[in-house]
Structure 1
Amino acid sequence: MTLTWKLVVDSRDAAALAEFWAAALGYEVEDPTALIDGLLAAGRLPAAAVLEREGRKLFRGYSAVRHPEDPHDPVSGIGQGRRILFQDVPEAKQGKNRLHLDVHSGGELDTVVARLEGLGATRVEEQQQGPAGHWWVMRDPEGNEFCVA
């Protein structure tokens, strides 16, 4: 049996956070416009449940990113491989993450950290553990910690 998975991240603005992570990782924001259009036309989805952003219709409070080379459903846009779903929750982030992403810079640590800062991330703390252990702890625009090595 092969298991599939997606990482789900609580957010305050799913669409904005998905756009940040798509740019950060070189992923694509999923586009469920065709699915939403069909649901709206059939009267199965109220217009208030839809958000328009960057030329896409999204389910309000949800947005996902997927690796551009992985397969996906052409109607829903849902990725069937490496995927992160952002879902809005009423409460703000509190405390340290119990799970985080490690972004590998391919030896271009300073360049990648600067690019991520340009997208809205912030540096938290530089780490150095021996000659091969150098990385930055950073926060995405909503304060979720991640590492860049």
Structure 2
Amino acid sequence: MAANFQISVDSADPHALARFWARALEWEVERHGDFIKQMLAAGHAKPDDVMTLDGELVWATAEAIRDPQAAVDGRGSPVRSRMIFQVVPEGKTAKNRMHLDVSFEGVGKEVTAARLEQLGAKRLWEGQQGPHSWIAMADPEGNEFCVS
């Protein structure tokens, strides 16, 4: 049985951070404009809950991304893993307790790290344990991740 899971990331600007990670992982930002319109019409959402971004109706305080090859359900949500970025009032203050390790088949660490730096990530340090090495980086809001 395949597991479905969602990684939730606290954020100051979920829309910008979702766009960064969508480009970083070569995923896509989810769009649910029709569903949002239904929620507004039914009274399950208020106008303050939504905003227009790039000409599309989106949730004001959250944005999700998914693997474009993942199957989707009837609402357009992925059946497999996804990431959601949500607004929180406080900024990041300490090291992550959990982080992502990112790699792309056939693409070296240095090439991947350089591409991610162009997208707005920062290189933090390099590590090695036995034959395994990695580059520690931070996304635009300071969340640590590794390129391996």
TM-score normalised per structure 2 = 0.90
Matching of residue 33 in structure 1 with residue 33 in structure 2: yes
| Matches for 1:1-149 after TM superposition, within 5 Å | 3-75=3-75, 77-106=76-105, 107-130=107-130, 132-149=131-148
Work out whether residues 97 and 144 of structure 1, in 8 Å CA contact, stay in contact via their aligned partners in 2: yes
C-alpha RMSD of the superposition: 1.7
Please give the per-residue CA displacement for 1:111-139, whole angstroms capped at 9, x wherever unaligned. 11111011110000011334x32211000
Q: Distance in 1 between the 2:2 and 2:18 partners? A: 27
Mark the runs of 5 or more structure 1 residues left unpaired by the alignment.
none
Question: How many pairs were matched up?
Answer: 147
Work out whether residues 71 and 80 of structure 1, in 8 Å CA contact, stay in contact via their aligned partners in 2: yes
Mark the runs of 5 or more structure 2 residues left unpaired by the alignment.
none
Assess, with a 3 A threshold, how the Cα gap between structure 1 residues 63 and 44 changes in structure 2: closer, same or farther.
same
Q: Distance in 2 between the 1:36 and 1:73 partners? A: 16
Q: Which runs of 4+ in 1 moved over 4 A?
A: none
Q: Distance in 1 between the 2:23 and 2:33 partners? A: 20
- The percent of aligned pairs where both chains have the same amino acid is 44
Q: Distance in 1 between the 2:2 and 2:132 partners? A: 34
**Alpha-carbon offset, residue 25 of structure 1:** 0.4
3-state SS of 1:118 partner: helix
